[in-house]
Chains A and B, each alone.
Chain A
């Protein structure tokens, strides 16, 4: 026995096929043409998606920049406003308050002097008593002389104080005056607890009143600042809510490059009569979409609010399928060509209805313009949402097949990050100081298809009506 490689054998075959030609079917070029068109449209779509993302990024950047700008301007406006309040709010002017400060200091000084003068009077009285006791029988004249002496001492003291006040009054004309006639009399008879400052008036008001006014004014400023501050805090709100609506995909028949040749018949589930059938992907029901989550908002200017939050988003839609995929344990799971991707073990089945459910974690960023901000509020919101794909689940409505799930990832047929444009209005009603409810009809438009390999336009549009229950801080 011998293995042989007879050159004549090979030569015979080689020469037989040397210039051999055979006509391919006429439809071959059409198929190639169609594939090339799809690839080109895919490339075009990639470019469009790039520009869409660029536009979305520009909008996001613009919103961020605008928000920061508005924030800065609003903050500056408030600073100017508070300064204005400090300038005009008090019933007395700052110059008066300054003067009142000086008067307080002066009063303290006078009190110090009062103590000193009390000592002088005590000393005088002590001397007087001593003299009266030593000269037990003194005459009226002598008593008068003594009284005159005492009066002269105290009168000179208070005269000097009043003179000082007069000088101060001259320094601030029109502001500080004194009770002139009593002070000018030089014949003050003062009780030991009486003070001359009680008679000093500022623009016709007693100093104590001015000081009190000053304190009240300062408290008013503090209150005003505090109110402003709490007003800023009041601009914050948090809400829980949800929305629901219909979900429309384009087109209604799924584009698929799934080849019928990939369908195997190695399953007891499959029936030979279904082998070779074209994969189905016809939409049979209107899609539904709902979301729940929490939202926070901040009033960044008189009529502008910035809104963000986190939502769980669920979008489901019904299709017809005639395929199933077999898992490792040979159990059949629901499968839909064009939506899911499985490398092997796809088998043909009788036609059945399948529900495709996409789940996302959505992070919206919106700017809102307040048309009406009263008990009833009306605002227009617009922004973008980054939807993080979490999972797709294919559910056989007849429950004969197990669910088939596909999560995000590099190997997934689904994009992890999807961009969606948001536009909507918000009609709200303030229930109490801290609570407001609102209805939010809106539109979500996907800038890209959630499928990585989608060959045709597939940008779902969602019309929904939302509800928010706000807590105002």
Chain B
């Protein structure tokens, strides 16, 4: 098994075997990221392919100061944002009405399969989904999200709150269904 350094060198030299090895090492993790940002699995697959092409095309610019996994993740997120940006341009995010969040209400996702969680996220509107992913999972601040997506910090916050509200509702519905019928979606 080749080390990451050897893989990177191979990819830099255009070695197709090294490229395939790097792809196989990271494709599953990246597929989940793409699924979170995409509206469908088909769209996620497109983002994954485009992202890996960008990785191989620009791997010469990779500096080993960061981990290759982190660098690839960043490229995937940027590719996903670019794909969403066109939609967001046509349907720009706007501030939404404030929603009530019950603080005491805890959320447990342990009973959900990964595919179910992805399905739930994919039902979110485009703007909410992007902000939710960037804030809740990637850990960016609303100010950073505003700069990345081209919206105001307030819009990012309101979109996130809306996403949270929608997700809670969805999860509650799924839980109820599971408790009632004892079956999972998958």
Contacts and interface: CB of A to CB of B under 8 A. Distances in A.
Interface of A: 1-6, 8-10, 12-17, 20-25, 28-29, 31-33, 35-36, 39-40, 261
A21 B28 contact: yes
Contact of A3 (B14, B52, B101): B101
> What are the 3 tightest A-B residue pairs by CB atom distance, in nearest-first order?
A21-B28, A4-B101, A10-B136
B16 A33 contact: yes
Contacts of B36: 17
A259 to B, nearest CB: 8
B61 interface: no
Given A21-B28, A29-B27, 5 more contacts: A3-B157, A6-B103, A12-B107, A22-B32, A36-B53
A21 B107 contact: no
Interface stretch (B1-9, B108-116, B145-153, B173-181): B108-116
Contacts of A23: 28, 31
A25 B45 contact: yes
Interface string B64-106: 0000000000000000000000000000000000111101001
A9 B160 CA distance: 12
The dominant DSSP class at the B interface is helix
Given A1-B100, A4-B103, A36-B19, A24 B45 contact: yes
Interface of B: 14, 16, 19-20, 23-24, 27-29, 31-32, 35-36, 45-46, 48-49, 52-53, 56-57, 98-101, 103, 106-110, 112, 114-115, 117-118, 135-137, 139, 157-158, 160-161, 164
8 contacts: A8-B107, A12-B107, A17-B32, A20-B114, A22-B31, A24-B27, A28-B27, A28-B49
A450 B127 CA distance: 41
A261 B24 CA distance: 26
B42 to A, nearest CB: 9
B108 A21 contact: no
Contacts of B49: 28, 31-32, 35
Contacts of A10: 135-137
Contact of A32 (B23, B107, B109, B117): B23
For B20, B135, B160, B164, which residue has the most chain A Cβ atoms within 10 angstroms?
Answer: B164
Contacts of A2: 100-101, 103
Contact of B16 (A8, A13, A36): A36
A39 B56 CA distance: 11
Contacts of B20: 29, 33
Nearest to A5: B160
A12 B108 contact: yes
B31 to A, nearest CB: 4
A277 to B, nearest CB: 16
Nearest to B117: A16
A361 to B, nearest CB: 36
Nearest to B138: A14
Given A21-B31, A29-B20, A33-B16, A3 B45 contact: no
Nearest to A261: B46
Contacts of B52: 32
B31 A14 contact: no
A14 B45 contact: no
Nearest to A17: B137
A22 B106 contact: no
Given A5-B160, A13-B109, A31-B49, A24 B103 contact: no
A9 B167 CA distance: 10
A226 B29 CA distance: 89
A2 B157 CA distance: 12
